[in-house]
Amino acid sequence: MDSSSADSGGTDPALRRGRVALALSFGVQGVAFALLVTRIPALQDQYGISDGLLPAFLAAVPILAGVGSVLTEKVVTRVRPGTVLRWAQPLVLLALLGAGAGREMWQVAVALGVFGLAVGALDASMNMLGVSLQRAYGRSIMLGFHAAFSLGGIVGASLAWAGARWELSLFVSYLPVVAVLLPAALVGSRWYTEGKEKGKGKAPEPGGDGTGGAGEALSFKLLLPLCLVMCFAYIGDSTVSNWSAKYLQDVLGSSEQLATVPYNVYMVTTLLGRAVGDLGVRRFGAVAVVRAGSLLAAGGFAVVAVAPGAWVGMAGFTLLGLGLCVIVPQTFAAAGRLFPGNSDAAVARLNIFNYVGFLVGSPLVGVLGDAWSYRGAMLVPMVLVLVTLVYARSFAAEGARYGGGHERPRTADVG
C-alpha cells in the first residue's frame, strides 16, 4: 500500500468533516459533564439532598450510564451509532438543564436518571464512531477526540466557577450554555460519519478471522484484559477528582484555596498529554505509549503518597494527569483493533467498565483512608495502574495493528 492510501483519511472531505463533528461532540460532552459534577454541592443545596442520600444520587448516574451503554449495544444492531449520538447528546444537555430547573426531589431524580442513561448511550456511540474513524484514517487519532473532551471539561469547570462566583442559580448558569451547545451539537451531527477503509464500500462485516471478526461472537475472555485496564484507569481518575483537594488540605496541610489547584492541574496535563499522544502512538506504537503512561501514573501516585508537602503533592498529580490520560482512549482503540468486525459491541461492553471504575474508586479510597491512612490508600490505585503493564500486549492485536511506523500495515488493511 502506498503512502497516499495510508493518508486516505486525511484527504477525504467526508472523513475530515466527520472527524471535526465528532471532536465537537466530545467537547460538548466535556462541558456538560463538568458543569454537573463541579456543581454537586449547589444541587444538594437546591434540592435539600441530605449527606446520607447524596451518595445514592451520585451512584445512580454511573449505574444508569452502564445500562445506557448496554442498551446502545443492542440498538446499534438496528441503527447506526451516529444516529444514537445525534439524539443522545441533546438529551444529556436537556437533562442537565432540567437538573438545574427543578425544586422537588423527584424532579432532580428524573433529570439525573435521564442524564445517566443518555450519557451511557453518548459515551458508547461517540467512541464507536471514534474507533471507526481511526480505522479509516489508518493512524492514531483517538487521543485527539479525548483531548477535545478534556478541553470541554476545562471550559465547563471554568463556567461552573464563574456561576458560583457570581452566585447564579443553576438554571441561570446552565441555560446560556445549553442554548449555545444544543444547536451546535445538532448542526454538527449532520456530518457524523463512520469510517470506511479505502477500497471497501462499507465497514467490515463479521467473519471468522480468529480475532473477534465477523461471524464470530464477541469473546469476553479476549476483551477482559481491556475491561480491567479501563476499570483501573477510572479508579485512578476518580481518586484524583474526588480526593485530591481533601488530600492536599487534610494530609499535606495546604490552604483551602491551594487545595483546589491539583484537579485543575490534572485536567490541564490531561489535555496536553492527549493533544500530543497520537503523535507518540504513531511514532512508538500503542503498547509503548500505554506502558509509559502506566509508569508515569504509578509514579505520580507514589509521589503523592510520600509527598512531604503540598507542592510536591501537586507535582505528583501532574504526573498522574500525563500518565492516565493516554490509557482510556487507547483502550477503546485497542478494542476496535481486537474485534475489527464487531467493534461497536466491544466498545459498548468496554464502556461499562468506565462506570465500574468510577463507582469503585471514590469509596475505595475513602474506606481505606478511614481504616488505614490516606497516604496508604494512594498506593492501591498505584498498584492497580501498574497491573496495566501485565496486559499491555492486548493493545497490539496481531493482524489489526497500525504498523508501518506504527501506522497502517503496508501489506494488509486494518480490520
17 vs 204: CA distance, rounded Å: 22
- The CATH classification number of 1-194 equals 1.20.1250.20
State the cell numbers at 258: 491551594
Residue 83: Cβ-neighbour burial (10 angstroms; 0-12, 13-18, 19+): middle
Give the HSE-up count for residue 286: Cα atoms under 13 Å, Cβ half-sphere: 32
* pLDDT band for position 290 (cuts 50, 70, 90): very high
* Residue 11 confidence class, pLDDT cut points 50, 70, 90: low
DSSP symbol at 249: I
What cell numbers appear for 351 in the block?
464502556
CATH 1.20.1250.20 describes domain 213-415:
yes
Residue 5 has pLDDT above 70, yes or no: no
CB 218 within 8 A of CB 339: yes
Render 308-358 in DSSP notation, one character per residue.
Answer: SSHHHHHHHHHHHHHHHTTHHHHHHHHHHHHSTTSHHHHHHHHHHHHHHHH
Per-residue pLDDT at 412: 31
Q: What is the DSSP letter of 248?
A: I
> Which DSSP state fits 325?
T
- Domain residue limits, the chain: 1-194, 213-415
Amino acid symbol at 150: S
* One-letter amino acid for residue 339 of the chain: F
User: What would the grid cell of residue 214 be?
Assistant: 465477523
How confident is the model over 241-281, as pLDDT tens digits?
A: 888 888 988 899 988 778 778 888 888 999 999 999 999 99
What is the pLDDT at residue 403?
37
Sign of CA dihedral 118, 121, 124, 129: negative
49/104 Cα distance (integer angstroms): 10
Predicted pLDDT of residue 409: 39
**145 CB-contact burial (10 Å; exposed 0-12 / middle 13-18 / buried 19+):** buried
Across the range 121-136, mean pLDDT stands at 96
User: DSSP H helical segments within 102-199, as ranges?
Assistant: 105-137, 142-165, 170-188
**pLDDT bucket at 96, cuts 50 / 70 / 90:** very high
Q: For residue 62, what pLDDT is reported? A: 94
Per-residue confidence band for 8, with pLDDT thresholds at 50, 70 and 90: very low
Please give the grid coordinates belonging to residue 31.
462541558
Distance in angstroms (rounded) separating the CA atoms of residues 32 and 177: 9
- For the stretch 186-214, pLDDT in tens is 999 999 998 765 444 444 433 333 344 44
* Cell representation of residue 231: 476499570
Q: 3-state DSSP helix/strand/coil percent for the chain, to nearest 5?
A: 75, 0, 25
Q: Is there a shared CATH topology between the 1-194 domain and the 213-415 domain?
A: yes
**Where residue 150 falls among pLDDT bands split at 50, 70, 90?**
very high
Q: Residue 370: CB partners within 8 Å, gap ≥ 6? A: none
Lowest mean pLDDT among 274-278, 361-365, 411-415: 411-415
Backbone phi, then psi, for 199, in 5-degree steps?
90, 0
Q: Which amino acid is at 128?
A: M
Q: What is the mean pLDDT of the chain?
A: 87
Predicted pLDDT of residue 383: 97
For residue 299, give Cα distances in angstroms to 266, 303, 324, 359, 383.
14, 6, 11, 23, 10
